[in-house]
């Protein structure tokens, strides 16, 4: 039976009225399991108007009171962890442990937001001039919006919801129509945690909703995570409409393996970073760069048996599965099309997952693991983000050639180096033009109290996600200069009447 999903408006689940719907698939079976409504511009504008009406009262609450809502939300999300993870896996396809990791990394940002009173403290200068004091205050923007991707249906919405609401804003959340259930569940949790109605609205939709957000004058800021072409579109249109915008796009993350690296640890790291979540991570390592042919040969020798042992299956198989299906049939076709292009362009396909077939799940969107060797920078599998379980090996003749590959690529989201040489690691960290760097860490996603963001065509805007940058993004700074007229002392007392 197909379920009809809703929007979340003014604290209630509300059926869509546009008459337009999108299919939500079970990636393991290929079956349509739900229909999600696609909001009209009018539905969106009504939700934004109600958010704008509710926001001033929420902003008037002291920061500590807003932080208590975050504190309660942490407890409730932990309470519902199993239910949220199951819903996430059912729509996305990732394993239950991976789904719980998705939720946990989002939860850590909500935990960080419990410290909102500290983050919103302004600055004060006593006696900046004769009788003059100066101070600053951080104030909410008003109504803001988040447009989030399918691959992290809990983490990315929570990264945006927590800081935006903690700062006193109201948020319009437009999740991916491919995996919409968890954001709706999170909205209900925040209401239970004490969030007033209208402060968090979840509006499902497609390009019409996105354009409606970008063109609505009430929306003051927009945060987006997704592909680079759409990131560029949202950034340019949002900025043209006078909004504050942060957009995070695609990635092609390189991991350099130096000759002195612990090859077993490097191979283990590549298995998790390259094939975990079926490669559908913006921080996945999709390019291994061993320095020297001997290093490359040793690495490939270590990788082959590990990849051959990978278990691919539905999330319902529990801990027996390393990764699940990709999100849609179209995603599967795109991945396999890029694999074919790699073969045609001369890369060596060491492990071929094209014929992977899972008995009982023949209609699911499963893709077997692939390993390429002798990939060159002119190949499509190197230039494009594959977003699937495909690892490309590019052999570098030297450290300088290896670091040049990562620096010359148009994407600059994450990168890593595996080495025992502290000098090489330090040089790499200082020189590389990539936003997030791992040293013997394959997926260098910063914790919540630091900030997440890529460089080059992986990130657009001056401020990053979570950490201190999030509180800057979701507030305006107002600076006050004050001077009070002095009372006239008579007999040691101020005579305020004399000041009239």
Phi-psi region of 30 (alpha: psi -120 to 50; beta: other; left: phi over 0): left
CA dihedral 357, 359, 363, 369 (to 10 degrees): -30
Instruction: From residue 428, give the alpha-carbon distance in Å to each of 266, 294, 413, 477.
Output: 17, 21, 15, 36
* Sheet bearing 31-37, strands edge to edge: 3-4, 31-37, 21-26
Cα–Cα nearest to 171, from 219, 113, 100: 219
Please tell me the distance from the alpha carbon of residue 71 to that of residue 258, in angstroms, as a whole number.
44
Q: Which of 113, 167, 247, 282 is catalytic?
A: 282
Query: Residues near 283 by Cβ (< 8 Å), separated by ≥ 6?
Result: 251, 253, 273, 413, 414, 436, 443, 444, 445
CA-based radius of gyration for the chain: 25
Give the β-pairing of 244-248 and 219-225. parallel
Task: Enter the DSSP assignment of 396.
Answer: B
Instruction: From residue 467, give the alpha-carbon distance in Å to each of 131, 174, 215, 407, 477.
Output: 36, 22, 28, 26, 17
Tell the burial category of 465 from Cβ atoms under 10 Å away from its Cβ (0-12, 13-18, 19+): buried
Tell me whether residue 113 is one of the annotated catalytic residues: no
Query: Residues near 131 by Cβ (< 8 Å), separated by ≥ 6?
Result: 483, 484, 486
Please tell me the distance from the alpha carbon of residue 284 to that of residue 444, in angstroms, as a whole number.
10
Please tell me the distance from the alpha carbon of residue 296 to that of residue 375, in angstroms, as a whole number.
12
Residue 412: strand, helix, or coil: strand
* Sheet bearing 124-129, strands edge to edge: 124-129, 132-140, 475-483
Phi-psi region of 400 (alpha: psi -120 to 50; beta: other; left: phi over 0): alpha
Please tell me the distance from the alpha carbon of residue 161 to that of residue 163, in angstroms, as a whole number.
6
Please tell me the distance from the alpha carbon of residue 151 to that of residue 321, in angstroms, as a whole number.
18
Q: Which two tokens stand for residue 281?
A: 């991570």
Which DSSP string do the residues of 142-197 spell out, in sequence order? Answer: SEEEEE--SS-TTHHHHHHHHHHHHTT-EEEEE--TTS-HHHHHHHHHHHHTTPPT
In degrees, rounded to 5, the angle at the alpha carbon of residue 289 between the alpha carbons of residues 286 and 290 is 135
Bridge partner residues of 392 (DSSP): 287, 372
Q: Which residues are catalytic?
A: 282
């Amino acid at each position: 039976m197909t379920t009809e999903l809703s929007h979340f408006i003014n604290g209630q689940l509300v059926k869509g009225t546009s008459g337009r719907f999108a299919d939500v698939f079970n990636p393991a079976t290929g079956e349509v399991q739900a229909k999600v409504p696609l909001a009209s511009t009018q539905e969106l504008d009504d939700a934004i108007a109600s958010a704008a009406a509710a926001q001033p009262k929420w902003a008037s609450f002291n920061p500590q009171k807003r932080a208590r809502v975050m504190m309660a939300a942490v407890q409730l999300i932990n309470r519902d962890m199993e239910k949220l993870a199951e819903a996430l896996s059912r729509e996305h396809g990732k394993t239950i442990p991976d789904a719980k990791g998705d939720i946990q990394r989002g939860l850590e940002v909500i935990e960080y937001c419990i410290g909102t009173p500290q983050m919103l403290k302004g600055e004060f200068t006593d006696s900046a001039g004769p009788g003059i004091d100066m101070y600053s205050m951080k104030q909410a923007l008003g109504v803001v919006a988040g447009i989030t991707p399918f691959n992290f249906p809990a983490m990315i919405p929570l990264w945006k919801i927590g800081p935006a609401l903690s700062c006193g804003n109201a948020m319009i959340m437009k999740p991916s129509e491919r995996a919409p259930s968890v954001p709706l569940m999170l909205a209900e949790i925040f209401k239970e945690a004490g969030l007033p109605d209208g402060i968090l609205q979840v509006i499902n939709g497609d390009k019409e909703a996105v354009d409606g957000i970008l063109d609505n004058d009430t929306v003051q800021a927009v945060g987006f995570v997704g592909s680079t072409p759409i990131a560029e579109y949202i950034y340019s249109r949002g900025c043209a409409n006078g909004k504050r915008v942060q957009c995070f796009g695609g990635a092609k993350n390189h991991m350099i393996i130096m000759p002195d690296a612990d090859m077993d640890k490097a191979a283990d790291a590549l298995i998790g970073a390259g094939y975990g979540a079926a490669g559908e991570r913006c921080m996945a390592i999709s390019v291994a760069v061993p320095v020297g042919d001997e290093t490359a040969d040793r690495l490939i020798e270590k990788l082959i048996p590990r990849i051959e042992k990978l278990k691919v299956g539905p999330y319902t198989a529990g801990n027996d599965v390393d990764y699940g299906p990709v999100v849609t049939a179209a995603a599967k076709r795109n991945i396999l099309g890029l694999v074919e292009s790699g073969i045609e362009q001369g890369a060596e396909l060491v492990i071929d997952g094209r014929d992977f077939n899972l008995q009982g799940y023949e209609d699911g969107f499963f893709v077997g693991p692939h390993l390429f060797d002798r990939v060159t920078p002119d190949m499509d599998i190197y230039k494009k983000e594959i977003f699937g379980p495909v690892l490309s090996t590019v052999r570098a003749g030297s450290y300088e050639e290896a670091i040049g590959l990562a620096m010359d690529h148009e994407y600059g989201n994450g990168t890593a180096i595996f080495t025992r040489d502290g000098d090489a690691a330090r040089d790499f960290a200082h020189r590389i033009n990539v936003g997030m760097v791992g040293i013997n860490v394959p997926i260098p996603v910063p914790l919540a109290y630091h900030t997440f963001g890529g460089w080059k065509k992986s990130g657009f805007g001056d401020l990053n996600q979570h950490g201190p940058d999030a509180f800057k993004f979701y507030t305006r700074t107002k600076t006050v200069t004050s001077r009070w007229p002095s009372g006239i002392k008579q007999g040691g007392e101020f005579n305020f009447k004399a000041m009239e």
